[in-house]
Amino acid sequence: MEKWSERLSTLDALFLELEDRTTHMHVGAVAEFEGKPPPYRDLLALIDARLDQVPRYRQRVVFVPFRQGRPVWIDESQFDLEYHVRHTALPAPGGEEELKRLAGRLFSQALDRDKPLWEMWLVEGLGNEKGERFAIISKTHHCMLDGISGVDLATVLMDTEPSTNPPPPAAAWEPRPPPTTAELLVDSVKDQITHPLRVAKEALEANNDARKLLREIANGVRPILDLAGLGFAPPSALNRPIGPHRRFETLDLPLPTLRKIRRALGGSVNDVVLAMVAGALRSWLAARGETVSADLRVLVPVSFRTAHGRNTFGNQISAVFCPLPVGEPNPTERLRKVRESMKGLKESGQAVGAQALTRLGDFAPPTILAQAARLQAVTRFFNLVVTNVPGPQFPLYLLGRRLLSCYPQVPLAAQQTIGIALLSYAGNVGVGLLADLEVRDLAALAGALQSSLDELAAIAGSHPRETAPLSDAPPPREVDSTPPPAPEMASVPAGQQQDPARTPGI
């Protein structure tokens, strides 16, 4: 059998370099389902039957000796599904608090780099007055997913109908032999020579007009210079050294309320989300006795994945750095400032510039990438990440059990104590807040988010524009500024994908 390996992209490799003892670069989700949990063996059989649709989940990362090239993916010859899919139960009383505590502990544990970089936990013992439920907690390394591809990967487990039919037997899988160490070194040296040439050749072939190519290069360089002039993010209590342990909190918000605010006060749903976060941080920090007079800076992930690339692996993302008006006391004015900032960032091409900067990394040796990762660990370019993932607005099922809600998890960068991720699904927005374990009042921040949304909703309810009809067609744009590292357990089923950039109101 022919030997096989596939090299990681520069951005995927960078996510590995960013990881250390206290910085875990996995994305994840806590998904809650209705009814009794499926038998563990049934879940294993379902995953085994559909795993051939996501071959990356049977592959592991191998680093090239002496860092003479980007790492590669190879098939895991000793792949053990039961290692990756695990089974546990909550202690009594088995409520939301116990589930969040378990999620925080699981998100505190780094993935084993000697194995495929994912885990899934079937969690029993979850119930309340509404009846018995169960949960799935998932973790996947960021080098495999960028949010949009993460949504696609999850489709293999979810169905649009509550079918309980057993999956067909899994097809036999035979791992391909990996290259030897010597072959890896030789191939890496070749790649360092040919890859930059290939990138340049593809750019020229895509732009037959040399003047057009020069214009595009100039348009890309200008926002790169703008990025270079950003400087440090404002000092904040949100930014300090973190430990390896995490705390997780959840919140449910009605998507119709966010859309109502958007109709009445203008902007996009994502603008409303950022204004809500600004108001919540203002009240939460003030309650702690912190200064709230200055703006903060939030990193908002941006997807460049096209429809043709939706079923591919790896990261095709960039980001914009948006001022967050925490210092503004007026909720309406906060939303206006966010709306104007995001509009200006989209028009400036900052996300395109950041993507161009990332592509320049294709010309950099791995040692430079490692140094860049270490620089990021001591340089504060933003105060926190806020990512808003549009999901399907119809029910999904796992082995006949309906998905009730899903709460995404975004990793914490170095010196970032809090990250906020949102996922819309079936009319609900699940909010996942991940924090360093020492942030003991994280539940208060979740409450502040709810209060901030209620404040905007009250203003929208008395606003004359509130009765304006809702258009399901978003304004035209070149990039989608709302996605991010996405959860694995909430997605559009295969064959029925929604383009998140075209999800109404997102």
For residue 167, the number of C-alpha atoms closer than 13 Å in the C-beta half-sphere is: 21
DSSP H helices in 167-314: 181-206, 210-228, 255-265, 269-287
The 3-state secondary structure of 50-108, one letter per residue = HHHHCHHHHEEEECCHHHCCCCEEEECCCCCHHHHEEEEECCCCCCHHHHHHHHHHHHC
Task: Characterize the bridge pairing of strands 428-436 and 246-254.
Answer: antiparallel
Q: For the chain, what is the total number of helices (H) and then of strands (E)?
A: 13, 15
For residue 267, give the 3-state DSSP assignment.
coil
> How far is 367 from 373, CA to CA, in rounded Å?
10
Cβ atoms within 10 Å, residue 384: 24
- Catalytic residues, by residue number, are 142
User: Pick from 23, 64, 143, 138: which is nearest to 412 by CA?
Assistant: 23
The two tokens of residue 121 are 């936990």
For residue 325, give the 3-state DSSP assignment.
coil
CA 181 → CA 68, 112, 185, 187, 388, distances in Å? 11, 21, 6, 10, 42
The two tokens of residue 376 are 């990021």
